[in-house]
Structure 1
């Protein structure tokens, strides 16, 4: 499963929910947590449940982020979503496996979990979280870089290198368990150069996509996490080379002066699948 762009929208805003049905992001995350004022929590939950039941989001993966499991709202969030059944439920501030196990018990077995890794305890628990992914139905790790920076007491804005090793750990854990890996948000709404730089760095680190806070960030993010023309051309040559009957049974072949193995064939097929997705 590939998610290049995941757009956060406040579930308390009816216009935002309507907008979510038209945007080009791969995923829409209706937020019950940070984007919703305490007085609006109950109404936001009702609106999210209604949106899930009404549908109309097309190919977009509809995810709902609950309030933190240590808050007074979380139990009602989970109970409501257990019956509404969105495509996934995003749990914020996942410190450990126990946090996810609590959510799994409340939601029942069917709804996939996404986990926000945005605390120091969460970073230290990544190995255990990844190891329990299959048992708990966890399908994605999301880097919560703003909360991580706050908990680490980094100066604002944080130096990129301060969070880089933590983001790499999130990617490693996600890849070890076969999970979606999403980078943190870009806080600048009208700075396309900064967004482009963040997307490029996230892709270099191995993230498959990025969480977003405004629809104007979607197109650039989808492009940045999609394959380049050069990557597509390379992938086509690799697939064609292994399809040649004279080489189809070989484990490794020579192509463009390089040794290419079947692991490269798998990567080439992934690139071409992503290219097809980008054309939709």
Structure 2
């Protein structure tokens, strides 16, 4: 039986925010996203790395981001900035900074998480899954005791694979599937990669629906304009909530009558369907709690 995820909070929309942009950090406090990845890696130029680190540590210590999960993506330990990033947030967490997790880039094996875990004890870790080696080692990475979430880095993975963009993401399916299986086997949060064409609402909607149907908990986003579509796609629909309530009620009634199954809308309802229904209602309640 997989262990429960660290928090019952929603991760429908996970927005990247550059850690170097004060105005963006301020604006993010009012955006309708479930989680924020405060990025010190790809979104920050080399000459701004140290300043961004200091700015972000200060902002997270002072600012209120409400119920949004706060995840800091540090630079890799193989760079000139990674160790200082990790140590800065180890100190910041000790001083009460609002950090829910540290996101480690380009995780290819559990050893990459071990190295960060040794520097920042007690802080949950997330893993960027964006290398071919990471796909092949996904199960071992997901089993790491400090890991709480996985983020698909589809842009870097496509570059490493040399694959081309397709709307159906066929070249990505092997990697996406391996990571999904690993995350679900170990009870980890897993969010889908970004959709680069942020003005293409229909393309984003279709990719969100594909990710949702595959089993992802949400999607990483690069622009606030993408939030509404992701939030809608990864939330239970009104029809799903209604069906879940009716399935639970019918099953409870059947059990009270000494029966092991119920029938709703012409379909059999068993224990596994009720478990799914309860999970849908719990997700809807978590979304309502985050957004109230």
Which TM-score band applies after superposition, normalised by the shorter structure? over 0.9
Aligned to 1:113: 125
| Matched residue, 1:99 | 112
Distance 1:216 1:113 in 2: 28
Note the C-alpha offset of 1:242.
3.1
| Matches of 1:198 and 1:97, distance apart in 2 | 29
Normalised by the size of structure 1, how large is the TM-score?
0.93
CA distance in 2, matches of 1:13, 1:125: 34
Partner of 2:278: 269
Query: What's the counterpart of residue 76 of structure 1?
Result: 84
What per-residue deviation string (whole Å, max 9, x for no partner) do you get for residues 61-90 of structure 1? Answer: 111000122111110011011122210111
- CA–CA separation in structure 2 for the residues paired with 1:124 and 1:248: 49
Structure 1 range deviating more: 245-254 or 93-102? 245-254
TM-score (norm 2): 0.90
Paired position in structure 1 for 2:181: 172
Distance in 2 of aligned mates of 1:47 and 1:193: 36
* Residue 136 of structure 2 is aligned to residue 124 of structure 1: yes
d(CA) in 1 for partners of 2:266 and 2:190?
33
The 3-state SS of whatever aligns with 1:150 is: helix
Matches within 5 A, 1:83-94: 83-85=91-93, 86-94=99-107
Using the alignment, how far apart are the partners of 1:35 and 1:247 within structure 2?
A: 57
Structure 2 equivalent of residue 14 of structure 1: 22
Bigger drift between 245-254 and 153-162 goes to 245-254
How far 1:245 moved relative to its partner? 7.5
- Per-residue CA deviation, residues 215-258 of structure 1 (Å, 9 max, x unaligned), is 11111100000012221111011121233375387653333332
In the TM superposition, 1:1-280 aligns within 5 A as: 1=8, 2-85=10-93, 86-108=99-121, 110-132=122-144, 135=145, 137-155=146-164, 160-244=169-253, 246-247=255-256, 251-279=260-288, 280=291
Corresponding pairs, count: 276
C-alpha distance 200-163 of structure 1, shift in aligned 2 (>3 A): same
Q: Is the 8 A contact 1:241 1:247 kept in 2?
A: no
User: Residue 96 of structure 2 aligns with which residue?
Assistant: none
User: Partners of 1:159 and 1:82 in 2: how far apart?
Assistant: 40
CA contact (8 A) 1:149 1:158 kept: no
Q: RMSD across aligned C-alpha pairs, in angstroms? A: 1.7
In the TM superposition, residue 153 of structure 1 has moved relative to its aligned partner by: 1.3
Contact 1:242 1:248 in 2 (8 A): no
- Structure of higher RCO (CA pairs closer than 8 Å, 6+ residues apart): 2
CA distance in 2 between partners of 1:157 and 1:41 (Å): 34
Tell me the SS of whatever aligns to 1:64: strand
Structure 2: gaps of 5 or more residues: 1-7, 94-98
Name the SS for the 1:71 alignment partner: coil
